[in-house]
Chain A
Amino acid sequence: MKWEPYGSRGKLHVIKSIVEGREEFDEDIVQKIFMCALCEHCTEVCTTSINLDRFWEAARRYALEEGLLPPPAAYARESVLSFGDPFSMGPSNRMIWSEGLEEIIQDRINKPAEVAYFLGCHVGLNAQVHDIARSMVRILDYAGVDFTLLGDLETCCGAPLVWAGDPDSAPPVNGKNIEAMRKLGVRKIIFSCPSCITAWQSTYYQIHGKPVRDEFELLTPSQFIARLNDKGLLDYEEQPMVTVTFHDPCISARRLKTTKEPRDVIERIPGVYKVETVPSEQETRCCGSHALLNRIDPLLASQIAEMRLRDVSVTPATMVITECPRCIRAFDLARMTLGYNVELKDITQIVAGSLKPKDSGGQ
């Protein structure tokens, strides 16, 4: 990674040589193309405004066409196409997260409603981050929101297919989710994972030829929670003093531009004191786990996560809050390898954990 051909400018030079017929599109360039988290940083800082991440996606597509897909990417692709998720777990595992919450969700699966919660494969299928879904559901229930879940009908949003060079297969896969939501009369969808939102935006456009906002409003948890706060639907309990920092997930900050809402949400919780990690917001650093990088080169992904945690380590924060299950999983590993004892929470977890119990005066 330390050599320039792994950086965007170096890769562009190599690709230019390939286009000019001076070099071959081989495993070597494919390796470089996939050793990237598509974190949008190079697009953000490109002095010539080239949307480089879309360019890398196109290069991944070419790798697939040439039969040069790295095995972990090929596995993720096949897994989504056969099982509907990138972990080969299949729909039967989609409800394990809800154990103990039957009371809240029993009537909500596939129930017509205006608001839906789309968990995404990470939250829905990885025990390590199931609590994000449980927290989101608790918040919705607490605020009395009439919401629906797709349950085991939920399938992959298609993002891993784009990362594995197969964007054409993404619309039919996510099309099932879109249809299911449509049938339930949903208008607003909350996503635990920011990449699901961008995948929904592009697949919807590919299928229907119009922006998704014409039919659905796609929201991050903090965008939705901020609205609940504005309506006074969430009552918080004073927390034992804690200093936190918010890590902006790349996609939330650089593509969805949702950097204000999570900060507003955190600031509403009494006892929680927020400090900023530098760099943050649009200039945030990646957790290393996006775009299959954690599978293609786990060591590199972990080093990137460590670098981000080092940014945090010079702040007084003892807890990192973020809004993406992938970031949580990456930091969980990195704090172990770094020996850095920082707490990790998704924004839904800190909100759900700070709500005043209903029987003690909460709504």
Chain B
Amino acid sequence: MEINIQHLEDIVGADNVTDDSETCKAYSRDVSSLPKLAGQILDDQFDAVAQPVTVESLQKLVTYSGRRKIPLTIRGNGTSGWGGSIPTRGGICVSLTHMSRVLNLDDFGLTVTVEAGITWRELLIFLNRLGSTLPVYPSSATAATVGGFVASGGFGIGSARYGDISSQIVGVEAVLLNGKLVRVGNMVLTEPDQDAARAKSGTKWFMNWLERRGGTEEPDPMSYLIGTYGVFGIITKVTMKIIPRLQLLPFAVSFETIDDLVRASIQIISEAEPYHLRFLADNYTSKLRALTGLIFEDGKFILSGALLDTIFQNEESIETIKGITETNGGVVLDIERAQYHWDERLFPLRIKRLGPSLVPAEVLVPTAEIPSLLHDVRRKLGSSRFAVEGTMDKSGLSSFLVWILDDERKTVSYTIGWHRSFDIAALAKKHGGSPYAIALWNSMHAKEFYGEQLYEEFRALKKEIDPQNLTNTMKVFGGRVAAAWPSLILGFLGGFIGLSLALWIGPEILGASWLRDALLAQPVPFMPLPLIIFIALLGGLLGFSVIKFMSLKQAMTLVLPLLKTLGRVIGK
């Protein structure tokens, strides 16, 4: 694969492409600090970054790279940590951040239509000016893009009242990986709509394809684009619901035990319908410098959030929350503390300085299971330093986020410690949960996460529009790793040495001395090499091929138990 920058400049505009290596490096990361070992299975640096500014140029870029077999990776602002926006095969990073206009605000229908690269912060600023706000946005709102959160799905601020982001999306426009522009749901746009004709033909194609697969109702066409990490296309526009910006009243309550907190939270969600509800476990509050010495907060279990209603309703709901808290043995914090916790909603990483690195493990569990999961996590992580927090959703599910404190400067120990993140996903399953996100690192759970039927539909669409798996490769569907030379050499040596030893010791054990003699014979005249070396070379080639053609799932199955064993040795 060779990337011709001039071609890319012709497609997206000369100012909108770069192959400067420093820039490519910066875009090749997401929010997590991956152990260097990851570089052994990923081609983890972009060769170029493109920032298209029009839908048409984006369509051309997709078609061009498909024809040239150039891998593409879609990126919002890289604030996620599940590997969705990092390169796995090098290639081009398609950064959406320069498609960031607000296109339509429908005051009557209560929707806003934006380009996918706008950050949630900018959108909130825009809406706040006009007296509106968003029902749901991520706590990474400062930097995360609309497209990134929609492509990831998930809970955010507002989910206690309004559910996950998918329920707020009215319409999505995306460039599918075959270059077709589709619009699903109800896109509210203002005339003139330059992309209308192309969108019409693309959507028609998509609907026909769905029809052929068994109908356009089930699964909902939007489910191909929301929460699928860009494996089918690049989201370009989103129409979503907005709500009036009513009075926002923060609250915070504190408990001695997680059981009390969870019991109270379930009642609060059903009786007070709060806008947002977040919990912090004792191991989180005891690590926040700003809470040190506060008797009702330091080392306690805190539930905080906000009500978004009229003054009258809020006052009533505050009384309800007080009642529920007191019956469950909790303490209601004063309004200043409540405001502090509300303002902190966008700063979940405050504890990072204690790391200085954080290894995240995020899962989704039924809220009622939080106490038992927390108990198991404590047992599993033993002496590791960690902190737990999460967000509650109105449907009875919670995100359960474990921040494991570590130090990436200690390369070996940091690499070994990564297995803990995957262990927690396994624990969640035991409690009726699942990983929070799939993206790259959890792709082995994809089938279970989406359900077998939907997953099969996904595979069919992928095969249809990106048969060579060139875009967001390895995300959701897993697939072959891009093994680096050191791993390939290791594979070769493993095969070579393993087979040599087997052939050396085997005949001895079996007492077949004739075999041994045959293996030591020199089959090629003028080459003083015994047969065993030639066979071992084949073993080496086999080892090399195993690594070369290994899937991500196989690589993880091989490496994780190894890390786990080493972890036991070093106490991680």
- Measured CB to CB, the residues of A under 8 A from B are 2-5, 9-10, 13-14, 17, 23, 28, 45, 47-50, 278-279, 314-315
Taking CB atoms, residues of chain B closer than 8 Å to A49 are 347, 350, 352-353
Contact, CB under 8 Å: A278 / B129 = yes
Contact, CB under 8 Å: B98 / A45 = no
* Contact A14 B26, CB 8 Å, known A3-B18, A278-B125: yes
Determine the residue in chain B with the shortest Cβ distance to A314.
B129
Determine the residue in chain B with the shortest Cβ distance to A282.
B343
Taking CB atoms, residues of chain A closer than 8 Å to B23 are 3-5, 10
How many Å lie between the Cα of A283 and that of B348 in the bound state?
18
Cross-interface CB contact of B26 among A5, A48, A278, A279, cutoff 8 Å: A5
Is B128 an interface position by the 8 A CB rule? yes
Is B112 an interface position by the 8 A CB rule? no
How many Å lie between the Cα of A332 and that of B23 in the bound state?
34
- Measured CB to CB, the residues of B under 8 A from A are 18, 20, 22-23, 25-27, 29, 49, 51, 95, 97-98, 125, 128-129, 140, 142-143, 346-350, 352-353
Contact, CB under 8 Å: B51 / A47 = no
**Distance to closest chain A CB from B279 (angstroms):** 18
Contact, CB under 8 Å: B129 / A48 = no
How many Å lie between the Cα of A13 and that of B32 in the bound state?
12
**Distance to closest chain B CB from A259 (angstroms):** 14
**Distance to closest chain A CB from B92 (angstroms):** 14
Could you list some 17 contacts between A and B, CB below 8 A?
A2-B97, A3-B26, A4-B26, A4-B95, A5-B22, A10-B23, A13-B29, A14-B25, A28-B22, A47-B140, A47-B142, A47-B347, A47-B349, A47-B350, A48-B349, A48-B352, A278-B128
**Distance to closest chain A CB from B13 (angstroms):** 12
Contact, CB under 8 Å: B25 / A13 = yes
Taking CB atoms, residues of chain A closer than 8 Å to B129 are 278, 314-315
Taking CB atoms, residues of chain B closer than 8 Å to A5 are 22-23, 26
How many Å lie between the Cα of A48 and that of B352 in the bound state?
6
Contact, CB under 8 Å: A17 / B25 = yes
How many Å lie between the Cα of A315 and that of B129 in the bound state?
8
Taking CB atoms, residues of chain A closer than 8 Å to B49 are 3
Taking CB atoms, residues of chain A closer than 8 Å to B18 are 3
**Distance to closest chain A CB from B119 (angstroms):** 11
* Contact A10 B26, CB 8 Å, known A47-B349, A49-B353: yes
How many Å lie between the Cα of A13 and that of B347 in the bound state?
20
How many Å lie between the Cα of A314 and that of B127 in the bound state?
12
- Residue among B26, B49, B129, B142 with the highest chain A CB neighbour number at 10 A: B26
**Distance to closest chain A CB from B31 (angstroms):** 9
How many Å lie between the Cα of A140 and that of B81 in the bound state?
56
* Contact A23 B22, CB 8 Å, known A49-B347, A279-B125: yes
**Distance to closest chain B CB from A48 (angstroms):** 4
Determine the residue in chain A with the shortest Cβ distance to B347.
A47
Contact, CB under 8 Å: B125 / A48 = no
Contact, CB under 8 Å: A2 / B51 = yes
**Distance to closest chain A CB from B317 (angstroms):** 27
Determine the residue in chain B with the shortest Cβ distance to A29.
B22
How many Å lie between the Cα of A10 and that of B350 in the bound state?
20
Taking CB atoms, residues of chain A closer than 8 Å to B347 are 47, 49
How many Å lie between the Cα of A17 and that of B28 in the bound state?
14
How many Å lie between the Cα of A23 and that of B349 in the bound state?
28
How many Å lie between the Cα of A13 and that of B98 in the bound state?
21
* Contact A14 B353, CB 8 Å, known A278-B125, A278-B128: no
Taking CB atoms, residues of chain A closer than 8 Å to B353 are 48-50
**Distance to closest chain A CB from B363 (angstroms):** 21
Contact, CB under 8 Å: A2 / B98 = yes
Taking CB atoms, residues of chain B closer than 8 Å to A23 are 22
How many Å lie between the Cα of A180 and that of B538 in the bound state?
86
**Distance to closest chain A CB from B353 (angstroms):** 6
How many Å lie between the Cα of A360 and that of B148 in the bound state?
63
Determine the residue in chain B with the shortest Cβ distance to A11.
B26
Contact, CB under 8 Å: A13 / B125 = no
Determine the residue in chain A with the shortest Cβ distance to B18.
A3
Taking CB atoms, residues of chain A closer than 8 Å to B349 are 47-48
**Distance to closest chain B CB from A29 (angstroms):** 8
Determine the residue in chain A with the shortest Cβ distance to B15.
A2
How many Å lie between the Cα of A13 and that of B26 in the bound state?
7
How many Å lie between the Cα of A23 and that of B23 in the bound state?
13
Taking CB atoms, residues of chain B closer than 8 Å to A278 are 125, 128-129
How many Å lie between the Cα of A17 and that of B25 in the bound state?
10
* CB-CB nearest 6 A-B residue pairs: A10-B26, A48-B352, A47-B349, A4-B26, A278-B129, A48-B349
Taking CB atoms, residues of chain A closer than 8 Å to B142 are 45, 47
- Residue among B18, B128, B142, B353 with the highest chain A CB neighbour number at 10 A: B142
How many Å lie between the Cα of A23 and that of B25 in the bound state?
12
**Distance to closest chain A CB from B264 (angstroms):** 27
How many Å lie between the Cα of A45 and that of B128 in the bound state?
18
**Distance to closest chain A CB from B101 (angstroms):** 13
How many Å lie between the Cα of A2 and that of B18 in the bound state?
11
**Distance to closest chain B CB from A275 (angstroms):** 10
Cross-interface CB contact of B350 among A3, A13, A48, A279, cutoff 8 Å: A48
**Distance to closest chain B CB from A242 (angstroms):** 21
**Distance to closest chain B CB from A49 (angstroms):** 5
Taking CB atoms, residues of chain B closer than 8 Å to A17 are 25
* Contact A14 B22, CB 8 Å, known A48-B352, A48-B353: yes
How many Å lie between the Cα of A28 and that of B346 in the bound state?
32
How many Å lie between the Cα of A47 and that of B121 in the bound state?
14
**Distance to closest chain A CB from B412 (angstroms):** 16
Taking CB atoms, residues of chain B closer than 8 Å to A50 are 353
